[in-house]
Structure 1
Amino acid sequence: MIAPPAGLRVWLACGVTDMRKGMTGLAMLVQQGLAEDPFNGAVYAFRGRRAGLIKLLWHDGIGLCLLTKRLEHGQFPWPTTATTGCIALSTAQLAALLDGCEWRALGPRRRPELAG
């Protein structure tokens, strides 16, 4: 797997997205629906109603890129509380999401205060 660059910002678009949209339609959704710049180098993740398909959109400095991933079994975990807007993910959470794993459980580990 290609490792994401350091400092990569990842945004997950809450709610359901029409997966018939291509890179231009998703870029317009980022610009108009999320009020973000689709050409700022951040990764934007979208999921459809069936939940087995996600699309990632980002601009790599040269052009607009679109990654599509479909799970053979299961569904991609997605936030259910927020219906609009976007939430930030870490690159570790993005990796877990792309593996089809629960990304919300990943968080900073607490360091023990006492050794005994």
Structure 2
Amino acid sequence: MFNLNASMRYWLYPFPTDMRKGFYTLSGLVTERMGQDVRSGDVFIFLNRHCTSMKALHMEHGGLVIYYMKLEKGNFALPPLDEKGKTHPFSWQKLMLMVQGIDAEKCHYKKRWKSA
């Protein structure tokens, strides 16, 4: 049932989030604080204060799904954030690097063709 892929748009919430929040309160953050529509099919990523837990909220065909990852050791490396308080577009590649524990800042990206 894992239905996330590179063709989706990802948004990182720039503030620490209480990981006790569920479907309705995370949906409220998406709507009120991020200015996005939770039903758009985009994926919304939330991290706790210590960057040891991550939740991804996504609307699938049957309803809302939360993917939750809690690290036993270490923490997620955050990408650089440009402006305080602004929702940041995020890529599938950066999400996969973050989940695998690879620092995206130290990665060197080769040139690739991207569709517009």
TM-score (norm 2): 0.81
Q: Letter of the aligned partner of 1:101 in structure 2?
A: I
Q: Give unpaired runs (5+ residues) of structure 2.
A: none
Change (3 A) 1:107 1:63: farther
Contact kept, 8 Å, 2:14 with 2:84, in 1: the verdict is yes
Q: Deviations over 1:39-94 (max 9, x none)?
A: 11111000011210010000012200001101111111124644322211221111
The SS at the match of 1:72 is coil
Aligned to 2:99: 98
Q: Which runs of 5+ in 1 are unaligned?
A: 112-116
Kindly provide the amino acid, as one letter, of the partner of residue 60 in structure 2.
D
Q: Greater helix percent: which structure?
A: 2
Say if 1:95 and 1:80 are closer, same or farther in 2 by CA, change over 3 A: closer
C-alpha RMSD of the superposition: 2.4
Deviation of 1:4 (Å): 3.4
For residues 19-50 of structure 1, the C-alpha deviation after alignment (integer angstroms, 9 at most, x for no partner) is 22111110110000101001111110000112
- Post-superposition Cα deviations, 1:94-114, rounded to whole Å, max 9, x if no partner, equal 111222322345574148xxx
Deviates more, 1:51-60 or 1:101-110: 101-110
Determine what percentage of the aligned residue pairs are the same residue: 28
Letter in 2 for 1:62: G
Q: Note if contact 1:57-1:65 (Cα within 8 Å) is conserved in structure 2.
A: yes
| Number of corresponding residues | 111
Contact 1:46 1:55 in 2 (8 A): yes
Give, in whole Å, the separation in 2 of the partners of 1:106 and 1:93.
10
Q: Which has the larger radius of gyration?
A: 1
What TM-score, normalized to structure 1? 0.81
Q: Secondary structure at the match of 2:104?
A: coil
